[in-house]
């Protein structure tokens, strides 16, 4: 799920509502004409630029946590107004903004501004969908939990600790009112999986506030501030635990009414990603990609674990655990992944920033991994790649199984850091258009990160061994089943139990992860965007590199793609290829067969499509 604050997330984060250029400049759109613009166009250009600036200012007012996370710290400690009047005011503002930008006609704008207008309209339409069409403000805790996250104040050293403590205290003081507003918005009964999400999230907040936060600020020598902290901390614990308890009390009346329905699901895709493809075609594309990856898995397993069922083959890969656990294992992988990008010349790496790896905090463990990246107004601050430990309530065998194998973890690290989210945001934060730095869409961010996993395997990461391939395919199959579960859960009558079974049997997930993933599909219907975005990027790469050197054009393709900020991918397609903003999904050639990975070399344009052996993941 997604609203105005951009990914992530991803965090990129789960509801994905949570969390979220090179040394040489990249255009965020086609370069303007070298001819002097006509006076009328020049006037509209200035009016358009002013409208964009006003939109950003208004977005910060309506979404103050978005502003603070972007690095506008005058908004520190503030939370949105979740009252009915506040939600209506936000909706009214979005509609007025839509009318304003729709009023800029093609004739009034040059090519660059037309692209930017369509980008702004897509952001507005997406946020209107989540606010007014999805129903999530009235039944889904995930609509709110991203805004309520205090992670920035605790983990991002953007200011001296006393200043961040004061901001956190203001946040704690605002939290009880915000939670009361959220509770008042919910219309009972609620879907069972939504209740579970809320219980886990709010109880996680309460535990974190109680057990972890006091030690973070203990060294601050300010008696008055410490007194405010103590009082507000107690109130925050009471409010968050009270919310968790209230939600838990709704469990006896819980429903399974989580499905958006086909009409809303299709509207979600049009509004948020500018994808207007019939659901039967979308489903068929996902089924084809799933089968492609299952075929590739069988070929890899024939080499790695000959004669064993696929489930046992994947389990063998998963049993080869990273030394020291997932966090230590990921730390060891990042340097080699970055060097691989440099050695293979796969993409420009702007700047010298690095990402740290830490254990995820208790309130944000709904998914295995995510990265928190400072916003575009911040300077010289670290990004943090978070990895969640298994739920201590699970049986020991499930806890052990939750820690991925080394090969699996390699592609999680590629997805989150090199060359996935972290590299993408290094580029977007250097865009020459502030709007493109701030608003990065779900399919763009997750599609890119997912795409890079298959691309890295194709380039030979990890030596292209069967075990490495199985790790990459494990992530690919997970995303394929997410894609099909989202469509099934929300448009096809699929139950959570059926989705969970699919994760177990076709993505070979461990039981704990399968439960998590099936539940996430109910409250994050847009999590099909990992594979949806990947398939659109793969088709775009095939079409673009056909005219730009085939496989030798990968770096140029990657750099140009990342230079647009984060709009819906069909808009990027129109800019890179010309023509209309049409969504096109890649499908493997019918004759594709599994083959060993190879490094990028010059190939004929007709060979630029990925072969059937590789599949994106994460």
Burial of 306 (0-12, 13-18, 19+ CB in 10 A): exposed
What pLDDT shows up at residue 39?
A: 61
The Cα 357–Cα 593 span in angstroms is 37
CB-CB neighbours of 47 under 10 Å? 15
Lowest-pLDDT range of 281-295, 336-350, 556-570, 594-608: 594-608
Q: Is residue 362 within 8 Å of residue 208, measured between CB atoms?
A: yes
Lowest-pLDDT range of 211-215, 222-226, 613-617: 613-617
CB-CB neighbours of 493 under 10 Å? 9
Strand partners, 371: 385
Collapsed DSSP state (helix, strand, coil) of residue 392: coil
Q: What is the mean pLDDT of the chain?
A: 89
Residue listed under structure tokens 């690290």: 413
CB-CB neighbours of 60 under 10 Å? 20
The pTM is what? 0.89
Q: Give the confidence band of 40 by pLDDT, cuts at 50, 70, 90.
A: low
pLDDT digits (tens, 9 = 90+) for 291-315: 999 999 999 999 999 999 999 999 9
Q: What angle do CA 561, 564, 567 make, to 5 degrees?
A: 105
The Cα 121–Cα 452 span in angstroms is 28
Lowest-pLDDT range of 261-270, 378-387, 436-445: 378-387
pLDDT digits (tens, 9 = 90+) for 169-216: 999 999 999 999 999 999 999 999 999 999 999 999 999 999 999 999
Residue listed under structure tokens 């850091």: 417
Residue listed under structure tokens 């948020």: 272
Question: 3-state SS string over 394-412?
Answer: CCHHHHHHHCCCHHHHHHH
Q: Is residue 200 within 8 Å of residue 255, measured between CB atoms?
A: no
In the numeric block, which tokens belong to residue 116? 């930017």
Domain ranges of the chain: 39-109, 142-253, 260-353+406-618
């Amino acid at each position: 799920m997604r609203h105005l604050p951009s990914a992530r997330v991803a965090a990129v984060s789960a509801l994905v509502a949570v969390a979220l250029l090179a040394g040489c400049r990249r255009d965020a759109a086609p370069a303007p004409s070298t001819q002097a613009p006509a006076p009328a166009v020049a006037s509209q250009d200035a009016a358009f630029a002013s409208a964009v600036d006003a939109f950003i200012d208004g977005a910060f007012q309506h979404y103050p946590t978005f502003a603070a996370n972007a690095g506008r710290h005058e908004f520190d400690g503030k939370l949105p107004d979740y009252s009915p009047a506040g939600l209506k005011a936000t909706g009214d503002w979005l509609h007025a903004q839509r009318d304003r930008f729709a009023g800029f006609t093609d004739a009034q704008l040059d090519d660059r501004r037309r692209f930017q207008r369509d980008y702004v309209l897509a952001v507005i339409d997406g946020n209107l969908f989540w606010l007014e069409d999805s129903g999530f403000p009235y039944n889904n805790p995930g609509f709110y939990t991203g805004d309520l996250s205090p992670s920035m104040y605790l983990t991002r050293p953007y200011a001296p600790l006393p200043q961040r403590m004061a901001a956190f205290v203001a946040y704690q003081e605002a939290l009880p009112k915000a939670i009361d507003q959220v509770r008042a918005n919910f219309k009972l009964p609620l879907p069972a999986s939504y209740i579970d999400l809320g219980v886990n999230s709010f109880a996680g907040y309460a535990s974190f506030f109680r057990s972890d936060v006091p030690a973070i600020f203990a060294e601050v020598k300010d008696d008055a501030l410490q007194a405010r902290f103590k009082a507000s901390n107690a109130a925050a614990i009471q409010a968050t635990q009270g919310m968790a308890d209230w939600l838990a009390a709704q469990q006896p009346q819980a429903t399974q009414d989580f499905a958006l329905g086909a009409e809303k699901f299709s509207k979600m895709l049009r509004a948020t990603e500018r994808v207007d493809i019939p659901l039967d075609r979308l489903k068929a594309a996902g089924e084809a990609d799933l089968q492609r990856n299952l075929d590739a898995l069988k070929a890899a397993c024939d080499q790695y674990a000959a004669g064993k069922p696929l489930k046992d083959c994947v389990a063998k890969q998963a049993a080869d655990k990273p030394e020291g656990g997932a966090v230590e294992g990921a730390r060891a992988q990042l340097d080699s992944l970055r060097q691989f990008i440099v050695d293979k010349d796969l993409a420009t790496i702007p700047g010298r920033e690095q990402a740290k790896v830490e254990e995820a905090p208790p309130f944000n463990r709904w998914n295995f991994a995510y990265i928190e990246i400072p916003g575009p107004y911040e300077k010289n601050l670290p990004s943090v790649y978070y990895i969640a430990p298994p739920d201590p309530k699970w049986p020991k065998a499930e806890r052990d199984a939750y820690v991925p194998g080394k090969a699996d973890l390699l592609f999680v690290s590629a997805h989150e850091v090199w060359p996935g989210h972290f590299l993408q945001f290094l580029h977007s934060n250097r865009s020459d258009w502030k709007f493109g730095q701030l608003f990065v869409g779900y399919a763009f961010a997750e599609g890119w990160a997912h795409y890079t996993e298959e691309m890295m395997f194709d380039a030979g990461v990890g030596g292209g061994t069967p075990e490495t391939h199985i790790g990459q395919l494990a992530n690919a199959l997970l995303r394929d089943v997410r894609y099909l579960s989202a469509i099934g859960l929300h448009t096809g009558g699929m139950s959570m139990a059926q989705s969970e079974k699919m994760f177990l049997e076709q993505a070979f997930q461990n039981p704990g992860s399968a439960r998590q993933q099936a539940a996430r599909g109910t409250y994050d219907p847009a999590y099909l965007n990992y594979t949806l975005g990947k398939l659109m990027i793969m088709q775009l790469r095939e079409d673009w590199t056909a005219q730009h050197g085939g496989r030798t054009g990968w770096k140029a393709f990657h750099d140009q793609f990342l230079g647009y900020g984060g709009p819906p991918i069909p808009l990027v397609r129109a800019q890179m290829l010309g023509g209309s903003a049409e969504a096109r999904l890649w499908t493997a050639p019918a004759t594709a067969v599994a083959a060993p990975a190879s490094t990028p070399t010059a190939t004929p344009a007709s060979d630029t499509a990925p072969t059937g052996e590789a599949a994106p993941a994460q």
